[in-house]
Chain A
């Protein structure tokens, strides 16, 4: 027997790796959204566009200026983060006293502008970004082929995510941030420059998105709409996890990516078949569930999970009502 529930080991591990990879992107992006929301009370709809900007900045740097991957990994988040800080100073700052919905609408408008400008300049067919030599190729583990670059992406994401978690939850700087999330007026009264902190926080959140964009550039096609489809899935991730907890965002992102991978491998559908197909009535009852978790439906897996979580625990897995 070389498989589990009718799935070959290679297929299963391959999909698990893809799931972990997607999960890394969900984790970084939902982490950024959670940090921004914590302090600014704004859902950054432009997050997807900023992720795309990160990827394009890397591509432009390589194509026109000969900037290599490693420098891009550093410079692209800095540039895009600085751009984010300009947006915060120029526009978002004016919205803090208004209903939170205006922040969503403004950043939605910004996302359209950014996406539109890139579409105008680069078209929608997309560009490819080569994997850097050091990370090209992969290793055959016997039961599966392990591409080096994908392992690097997962590792780099984990380091960034847990590093961010450490800074926020365990250092003095992070304590200011958490205090600002709870009560910015009081923090300001203690002599902390809260407006500056807000700007830097937004810049950091945006830089995280751009970092994810550079990581994604060699894997996915670099195109102007790469961010907008992803960000909607990340919104669902954020609803599932709730934005109250930093670790919650990371764990939810990774977990949902993995589940998506498992569904894509067909294991859940096969498992349901194996268990219920011999029972006449149960088979037809389980059928719609099987359909929802079939490999063809993996694009909607996270949305289905979101719906289930809303039914069972509306505040989200790690959330608190506020």
Chain B
């Protein structure tokens, strides 16, 4: 099957599956998948297409969550403005962390993002408005545009889907744009991209801010879904989780992170009763992926078709 056709089929499955999902599974479960899938796609833009491993992406997810939670709950924003505020905050934080982190590359980049995200974690732990260990609870979903009551699970679901789809499309368009080609060039051979006259730092930073903003969009939406912003979303476990989703689904593939998110969220959901084993299983998947399965699920499938 040619690649174009496969892409069209995948898009079709995504849209049909997305519309049908709330009738097949529990809506909150489907919403969680959509949020984390968007998060993983945003992350994949950096790891898969720019070759930058950020180990601190939870900072953007969590910051947007807190800002949205605070603006909606305390300041009384409407949900759409709350989400905008959260996304903007994540983008701003992305600019700060990105500017610092792109000063080093490779392994140092990963350590710097992890350390700065940990700093964000400590700040949220101590700042009074975040509610510390309890988090921001009881964030109202409110009425979309002042009209649509988002407490209704189906309305909420399609609202989330209406956020996911354009977010996913932005990632898709970015990857296939001339800008995305430059990112791939940086991933493949950075010195060469520099010698061709590209301002590599600017491209990296733009990709980083875009990725942070989309992660923020995911985090802001997630806060409205669960009506909760908590420290879990800023914790480094979450940063590891998004790496896992991308790695498992297939980094550098368009649909891989979505598949990865579905698998990982299902595992957490249905594996909740196995308690501490979830961490062990997560770690084991990491090890297996790195040792034997580096292309990920979608990467392996694509390789099969290419033969």
> Which of B98-106, B138-146, B254-262 is near enough to bind chain A?
B98-106
Option from B116, B280, B294 in Cβ contact (under 8 Å) with A113: B280
Residue A268 at the chain B interface, CB threshold 8 Å: no
Known: A101-B53, A116-B276, A235-B114. A106 touches B107 (CB 8 A): no
Residue A110 at the chain B interface, CB threshold 8 Å: yes
Residue A94 at the chain B interface, CB threshold 8 Å: yes
Most buried by B among A94, A102, A315: A102
Task: Report chain B residues within 8 Å CB of A130.
Answer: none
Contact, CB under 8 Å: A102 / B294: yes
- Residues from 248 to 265 in A contacting B, C-beta threshold 8 Å: none
Interface size class of A (residues with CB under 8 A): 35 or more
Most buried by B among A94, A102, A307: A307
Contact, CB under 8 Å: B111 / A310: no
Task: Report chain B residues within 8 Å CB of A102.
Answer: 290, 294
Task: Report chain A residues within 8 Å CB of B116.
Answer: 303, 306-307
Option from A105, A117, A232 in Cβ contact (under 8 Å) with B115: A232
Contact, CB under 8 Å: A238 / B283: no
Contact, CB under 8 Å: B111 / A238: yes
Q: Closest chain B residue to A314 by CB distance?
A: B103
Contact, CB under 8 Å: B290 / A95: yes
Contact, CB under 8 Å: B111 / A111: no
Contact, CB under 8 Å: B111 / A94: no
Contact, CB under 8 Å: A119 / B279: yes
Contact, CB under 8 Å: A303 / B290: no
Contact, CB under 8 Å: B280 / A120: yes
> Which of B12-20, B119-127, B153-161 is near enough to bind chain A?
B119-127
Beta-carbon contacts of A62-74 to B below 8 Å, as 1s and 0s? 0000000000000
Residue A296 at the chain B interface, CB threshold 8 Å: yes
Beta-carbon contacts of B274-292 to A below 8 Å, as 1s and 0s? 0111111011111101110
Contact, CB under 8 Å: A106 / B290: yes
Q: Chain A nearest CB: distance from B234 CB in Å?
A: 13
Q: Closest chain A residue to B243 by CB distance?
A: A105
Task: Report chain B residues within 8 Å CB of A116.
Answer: 276-280, 282-283
Contact, CB under 8 Å: A306 / B115: yes
A95 to B292 CA separation, bound complex (whole angstroms): 11
Residue B110 at the chain A interface, CB threshold 8 Å: yes
Residue A320 at the chain B interface, CB threshold 8 Å: no
- Name B's A-contacting residues (CB within 8 A): 53, 55, 100-101, 103-104, 106-108, 110-112, 114-116, 118-119, 122-123, 126, 236, 240, 243, 247, 275-280, 282-287, 289-291, 294
Further pairs besides A228-B236, A239-B112, A303-B122: 19, Cβ < 8 Å: A104-B53, A105-B247, A105-B289, A108-B286, A109-B286, A109-B290, A110-B283, A116-B278, A116-B279, A116-B283, A232-B115, A232-B236, A235-B111, A239-B104, A296-B126, A299-B126, A300-B122, A302-B115, A311-B100
